[in-house]
A and B are shown apart, each in its own frame.
Chain A
């Protein structure tokens, strides 16, 4: 499972990082960056939750 961020959509809500602190980081302006594109099996639930949490649909998962 891979986690992708469309940075043109990220508006810095930061909700994703609350759901998946090990998969994403927020920078000094609040924008997200994916630190683990390849999602470890134990993080898959967190990855799904963070994708669903984004108000701007900036995140997606691909198998």
Chain B
């Protein structure tokens, strides 16, 4: 085993080539420094043996020492909220009762593919991370929660390949926008529907079987496993992130949109990312999945940094970024995003049912050129009064994330939509979010010709 082949390492010459067979390409953008999650062969599923060969399943140190390293590295959760991983682990450990740990791979954001890719390509890395989380918190039971049947097949095979001391159950759910929200995860594992519940309590206080429950994004767990294998590289591991980049071409011509799964250091600018996608001429971008909303003029200089993005009124979220080509209209993009969110509302909270519909109808009228003169004022009002009103963040994504950011990033464009139909919006009515969907990159089995679960993933 060479040092450069261990997890958390890479070399300047290991820039990964595009995988030409997939619609969504995969390429690391980590310059010179250690590649972390993408690994040397991101388009092939890693076996238990291959993972062990690169240093996996080796950690024998004390769980408390690993937690200390995670804290020192400043690892932030990768599900969207960016909460410090070590703080969450410690809270679950210190809760009342024997904890439960959950690897959350249910990726509801239509523009994100990184979690499903990770489970398909590197299931052992996630399972190793889950075992570390169980050791740190003192959990006696683990779950892998997901909706992608192909990923579920890979995880089940990984568990059969290398049984773990920790009992781990795979829980499959339907693929919806809210199914991966942490209280929805707990409710589903407890036997209910995958729908959010009111907070408090949060899962770290009372979750699966009323026990303190860690619901952790699979990329976060994978980074914990990398830190365990290479504590010397913990800062680099914590300071890089997976991203799903895509481009709204403004047309519905087949093949005109492109997408890239990549890994970059925090601090990389949006301009650098757009250039990689051939989208440097974009008018703006839709950030964070749908939580960060739209960014407009000046977007290329924005750096991927939680604090800097928050200052700019946006968010990294789960790392899904969609660039808007000059031919695309940000109003149409907002219209489509809210159309999707409205359709995906769990319809549990009256304020979400009414609020998302009101925003959708107002954006629809704006796109059609039939909105009243007070439309921007109404959107502004909802963007300020509706966030934090629902049991989950879906309404926030529609109100502040999308509508509020549209007004802030493109104020004159919004005014130009009052009373005059926009030809771009007219040519691209909302698709229910269909256009926002990025295809998951294809991951081949390690041995050519032995697709493990062909019936699950027709190609």
Closest-by-CB residue of B relative to A12 is B350
Q: Is the CB of A7 within 8 A of B354?
A: no
Contacts of A39 in B (CB 8 A): none
Contacts of B198 in A (CB 8 A): 4-9
Asked if B200 is at the interface (CB within 8 A of a chain A CB), the reply is yes
Contact with A along B368-402 (1 / 0, CB 8 A): 00000000000000000100011100000000000
Query: A4-B198, A8-B197, A8-B198 known; A31 and B351 CB under 8 Å?
Result: yes
Contact with B along A1-45 (1 / 0, CB 8 A): 000111111111000000000000001010101000000000000
Q: Is the CB of A7 within 8 A of B200?
A: no
Residue from A4, A6, A29, A62 within 8 A of B354 (CB atoms): A29
Q: Is the CB of A10 within 8 A of B391?
A: no
Contacts of A27 in B (CB 8 A): 351, 385, 389
A10 to B198, CA, bound (A): 11
For residues 176 through 212 of chain B, which have their beta carbon under 8 Å from a beta carbon of chain A? 196-198, 200
Contacts of B389 in A (CB 8 A): 7, 27, 31, 33
Asked if B11 is at the interface (CB within 8 A of a chain A CB), the reply is no
A5 to B198, CA, bound (A): 8
Closest-by-CB residue of A relative to B346 is A8
Closest-by-CB residue of A relative to B352 is A7
Bin chain A's interface residue count. 10 to 19
Residue from B196, B354, B391 within 8 A of A31 (CB atoms): B354
How many whole Å from B190's CB to the nearest CB in chain A?
16
How many whole Å from B121's CB to the nearest CB in chain A?
37
How many whole Å from A32's CB to the nearest CB in chain B?
9
Asked if B348 is at the interface (CB within 8 A of a chain A CB), the reply is yes
Bin chain B's interface residue count. 10 to 19
Closest-by-CB residue of A relative to B351 is A31
Contacts of A33 in B (CB 8 A): 351, 385, 389
Q: Is the CB of A11 within 8 A of B391?
A: no
Query: A27-B385, A31-B354, A33-B389 known; A4 and B200 CB under 8 Å?
Result: yes
Q: Is the CB of B200 within 8 A of A10?
A: no
Asked if B349 is at the interface (CB within 8 A of a chain A CB), the reply is yes
Q: Is the CB of B391 within 8 A of A29?
A: no
Contacts of B197 in A (CB 8 A): 8
How many whole Å from A11's CB to the nearest CB in chain B?
6
Q: Is the CB of A8 within 8 A of B349?
A: yes
A9 to B352, CA, bound (A): 12
Closest-by-CB residue of A relative to B199 is A4
Contacts of A4 in B (CB 8 A): 198, 200
Of A5, A7, A12, chain B has the most CB atoms within 10 Å of the CB of A7
Contacts of A10 in B (CB 8 A): 349-351
Query: A7-B390, A7-B391, A8-B391 known; A29 and B350 CB under 8 Å?
Result: yes
How many whole Å from A4's CB to the nearest CB in chain B?
7
Closest-by-CB residue of A relative to B381 is A28
Closest-by-CB residue of B relative to A33 is B389
Contacts of A62 in B (CB 8 A): 200
A5 to B354, CA, bound (A): 17
How many whole Å from B109's CB to the nearest CB in chain A?
22
A60 to B293, CA, bound (A): 33
Q: Is the CB of B348 within 8 A of A8?
A: yes
Q: Is the CB of A31 within 8 A of B200?
A: no
Closest-by-CB residue of B relative to A10 is B350
Contact with A along B333-349 (1 / 0, CB 8 A): 00000000000000011
List 9 additional contacts besides A12-B350, A33-B389; criterion CB under 8 Å: A4-B198, A5-B198, A6-B391, A7-B352, A7-B389, A8-B196, A10-B349, A31-B349, A31-B351
4 closest A-B pairs (Cβ-Cβ)?
A6-B198, A8-B348, A7-B349, A29-B354
Residues of B within 8 A of A (CB): 196-198, 200, 348-352, 354-355, 385, 389-391
Residues of A within 8 A of B (CB): 4-12, 27, 29, 31, 33, 62
25 sampled A-B residue pairs with Cβ under 8 A: A4-B198, A5-B198, A6-B198, A6-B391, A7-B198, A7-B348, A7-B350, A7-B351, A7-B389, A8-B196, A8-B198, A8-B348, A8-B391, A10-B350, A11-B350, A12-B350, A27-B351, A27-B389, A31-B349, A31-B351, A31-B354, A31-B389, A33-B351, A33-B389, A62-B200
